[in-house]
Amino acid sequence: MTYLVAGATGTIGRHIIKHLLATGQPVRALTRNPDAASLPENVEVVTGDLSRPETLRAVFDGVTAAHLLSASGDDHTPLRTGAEIAALATRAGVQRVTAISPGLEGPLEQALAASELKWTLLWPIDYMANTLGWSQAIRDDGVVREPYGSRKTASVDESDIGAVAAHILINGGHDGQTYKLTGPQTLTPADKVNALATATGLPLNFAELTDDQARDLWRSQGWSEEGIEFMLNMWATVPDSVGHVNSSVEKILGRAPRSFTQWATEHANAFRV
């Protein structure tokens, strides 16, 4: 009985592995770069790439349940190899699959739905860990600068995402379900900055930028024009639904999701000089 975790070195993958190991489960970690994986010694690290099915032929052997990704890259491009991945998992006798999905019916989602696999899709609304992108600005002058400061998100702790995935992989249930995962609060960027100020003891502030000011800032940081316009468009069109808190984490884990205050307290040193 082995549990496969794809995206093992990513933010969510590491937390899934942590929660699986905490319950004594054998873990196989799939990564494109095993030399840089830096995973616990009792994790079996294998090389493979979900976008290249020919690298996965032995990866699913002996696997009881697998955590997969439905997209790749910084722009979350849907994997085109969903059908091949689902076929490999089915032939190997995998019983259960969880996958991080952006709420779209891409190739992997479609392939899972058409397969005999038991599957559950997890859609985290927003990672609390995304605020780590502010760490350099906070260390520089204590000011977080972003456009669309009134946008609200029900961000979820990445540890809770890992706990949810591990729970489903181990215990089953939730077959054919898609769960939006949220934290317990709806927060604006300024709310998060205030929480970080309390956690770090630093005098932090949030400054809202116009679109043009954001373009200038991000260009100075080396962003591509495509990336800049993608981000501006995404934040300008954030739907109200991403600010809606739901009970999915509590339903699955039997406890309340962790708050941003808890997350900020645990990660305070990442924002200090």
Q: Give the CATH fold of the 2-124 domain.
A: Rossmann fold (3.40.50)
The answer to whether residue 164 scores a pLDDT higher than 60 is: yes
Mean pLDDT in residue range 183-204: 98
More reliable by pLDDT, 153 or 36: 153
pLDDT digit string, tens, across residues 212-223? 999 999 999 999
Please indicate whether the domains covering 2-124 and 126-156+184-244+259-273 agree at the CATH topology level.
yes
The answer to whether residue 266 scores a pLDDT higher than 90 is: yes
Mean pLDDT of the chain: 94
Q: Give the CATH fold of the 126-156+184-244+259-273 domain.
A: Rossmann fold (3.40.50)
Delimit the domains of the chain by residue range: 2-124, 126-156+184-244+259-273
Q: Taking CA 134 as the corner, what is the angle to CA 131 and CA 138, rounded to the nearest 5 degrees?
A: 130
Select from 155, 131, 237, 105 the least CA-distant residue to 229.
Answer: 237
What is the structure's pLDDT at 50?
Answer: 93
Q: Taking CA 185 as the corner, what is the angle to CA 119 and CA 271, rounded to the nearest 5 degrees?
A: 95
Contact (CB, 8 A) for 126 and 147: no
What is the structure's pLDDT at 75?
Answer: 55
- The encoded tokens of residue 213 equal 């000011």
pLDDT digit string, tens, across residues 52-72? 999 998 999 999 999 999 887
pLDDT digit string, tens, across residues 108-130? 999 999 999 999 999 998 999 99
Contact (CB, 8 A) for 97 and 108: no
E strand intervals along 26-168:
27-31, 44-47, 63-69, 71-72, 77-78, 96-100, 118-124, 143-147
> Do the strands 44-47 and 77-78 form a parallel or antiparallel pair, or are they unpaired?
unpaired
pLDDT digit string, tens, across residues 233-257? 989 998 888 999 999 999 999 999 9
CB atoms within 10 A of CB 36: 8
